[in-house]
Structure 1
Amino acid sequence: MKKRKPPRSKKEPASLTYEVEETEQLLPFLLKVMDNRSRNSVKSILTRGQVSVDDHIETKHNFMLNKGSTVRILKNKAAIQQDVFVGMSIMYEDDDIIVIEKESGLLSIATEKERKHTALHQLMHYVKQQHPANRVYVVHRLDKDTSGVMMFAKNERVKRKLQNNWKDIVKERTYVALVEGQVAKEKGYIVSWLKESATRKMYSSRVKNDGQRAATRYRVLQTNNRYSLLELQLETGRKNQIRVHMEELGHPVVGDKRYGSKGRSVIGRLGLHAKILSFYHPVTNKLMLFRSDVPNAFFQKTK
């Protein structure tokens, strides 16, 4: 593996970056590049979410690395600093809201299995360092394996205003999806009524108004005979909306086995990214727009 030279700086870099030279599993790779550490120490670094492969956090020991991939290891010292986050970064903050850029692999909020390794937990810890009474409130969510722009409220009043007036406040929610197969129509508009099964999987009802209305517009950015790159705009923000609509279109999102994808993900993650979030500030009413760069791997598969 090639170790990339860190930028010239008097400060020690907070992370180490390596380029993968041959296909192999992640844990053996880490054991080689961190040969001064014990096996348990390396496994702990991996489990804590301090390792990123290309543009996403990876915690699986047997994750397969591809030649040319980039592995970044956040050092322990950097990981525990108050101003360093794992799997996310702050794009904007004021007295009322925080906008973050989330990596694939990081939960938005806690689950029964994972309480601490979430965006909400990290932000809560961050604001409490400023004042113990400070809090952060969830406004909307991104799936664990979806990357991109996400917003939180810093007080309950703003949270209620955002959630109660979401359709009026949010001007644009644009996603980019890498899907399986060659999408024939250059543009499309999908409308259905979503319901949730007993296993918590979303599906479309064939009966009008039998469920929550979901509307998605899409256009093809790039395509070949194996994959297509789509830009999608949400008119509604239902749970798993894009994933359900892509499965119904016959072109499931890459890596989305729950909604129709077959085989291993060619990019090592779910092919879904929240590219743009534009909204009127809930207090100042100023129009704001935040953009997150689409991962290069999405483009490479549709060249």
Structure 2
Amino acid sequence: MTPEELLARVLYRDAMVLILDKPAGLAVHAGARDGSHHLMDLLEPLRFGLPRNPELAHRLDRDTSGCLVLGRHRKALARLGEIFAEGSAEKTYWAVVVGKPPTETGLIDKRLKKLERRHGWRMVVDDKGQEAQTEYRVLGSNGRLSWIEAKPKTGRTHQIRVHLAAIGCPIVGDSTYGRGTADLVSPHLHLHARSIRLPFNPKKPAIIATAPVPPHMVETLRQCGWTSPE
């Protein structure tokens, strides 16, 4: 990604916070599975006059696109850390799934646990795992695929992916939790961090950012009834 391309992906910027539209396929930090290029290598153009690069306030999976929050300095990162830790950041995701949930709206309340395997790991539903809750709403469907709005109430690894698969609706392109069904529709994960709301300063309106739909999700969303040209 060129500096110009990165700058074009800035959704929000003030003296404390940056919000980027992260592209799918780009890891956010070092230590990714193959050690390839990652977002932290690219952040120098986003200093905007400050002596240090901005830093991640939270994370998105490599193959998830959309709103990613960064703090521009230590004070900002400390405040953002509080917001995410206390669960007051309101995150909204869009997903295209195979099938349709049993109800138009619902709360998926299933504890999650990390399962270590010889050739890697994955998250699984387990009564002894950590509490995990995801609210969902069906925004459209063509019978075979559904357009889902998901709002995680907790922040567990792969939470939305595991929860939607657990109710019989794996996310399109998910080769980990939808292998043999969802990954046959498309090789690209159809999970997008659509918007975020951050109550950063109690004396000011909350910070709100919305990320445009990524190219790989446009056609499947249209099949499910999405009509926006954006």
Fold in common (TM above 0.5): yes
Q: Is the 8 A contact 1:162 1:169 kept in 2?
A: no
AA matched with 1:84: E
Structure 2 match to 1:139: 57
The offset of 1:111, in angstroms, is 2.5
Query: How is 1:108-187 mapped onto 2 (pairs within 5 angstroms)?
Result: 108-112=28-32, 113-115=34-36, 117-123=37-43, 125-127=44-46, 130-131=49-50, 133-166=51-84, 168=86, 170-187=88-105
Asked whether the equivalents of residues 56 and 71 of structure 2 are also in contact (C-alpha less than 8 Å), the reply is yes
Residues 185 and 195 of structure 1: is their aligned pair in 2 closer, same or farther, counting only changes over 3 Å?
Answer: same
TM-score by length of 1: 0.65
How many Å separate the matches in 2 of 1:169 and 1:219? 20
Runs (5+) with no aligned partner, structure 1: 1-48, 50-78
Q: Which has the higher contact order (CA 8 A, sep 6+)?
A: 2
| Superposition map of 1:78-117 within 5 A | 79=2, 82-85=3-6, 89-112=9-32, 113-115=34-36, 117=37
Taking the aligned partners of 1:200 and 1:157, their CA distance within structure 2 comes to 35
- Which residue identity does 1:108 align to in structure 2? V
Please state how far the C-alpha of 1:129 moved relative to its aligned partner.
Answer: 7.5
Aligned length: 217
Moved more, 177-186 or 240-249: 177-186
> Could you tell me the TM-score, scaled by structure 2's length?
0.83
User: In structure 2, how many angstroms separate the alpha carbons of the residues matched to 1:246 and 1:169?
Assistant: 21
Structure number, greater radius of gyration: 1
Q: Do structure 1's residue 252 and structure 2's residue 174 form an aligned pair?
A: no
Label 1:169 to 1:283 Cα distance change in 2 as closer, same or farther (>3 A): farther
SS in 1 for 2:92: strand
Q: Are residue 212 (structure 1) and residue 130 (structure 2) matched?
A: yes
Q: Per-residue displacement from partner, 1:124-154 (whole Å, max 9, x unpaired)?
A: x2145745x3122211111111111110111
Match for 1:120: what amino acid? M
- Tell me, what secondary structure is at the counterpart of 1:212? coil
Mean alpha-carbon deviation: is it higher for 230-239 or for 289-298? Answer: 289-298
In structure 2, the gaps of 5 or more residues are: 226-230
The counterpart of 2:194, out of the listed 275, 289, 299, is 275
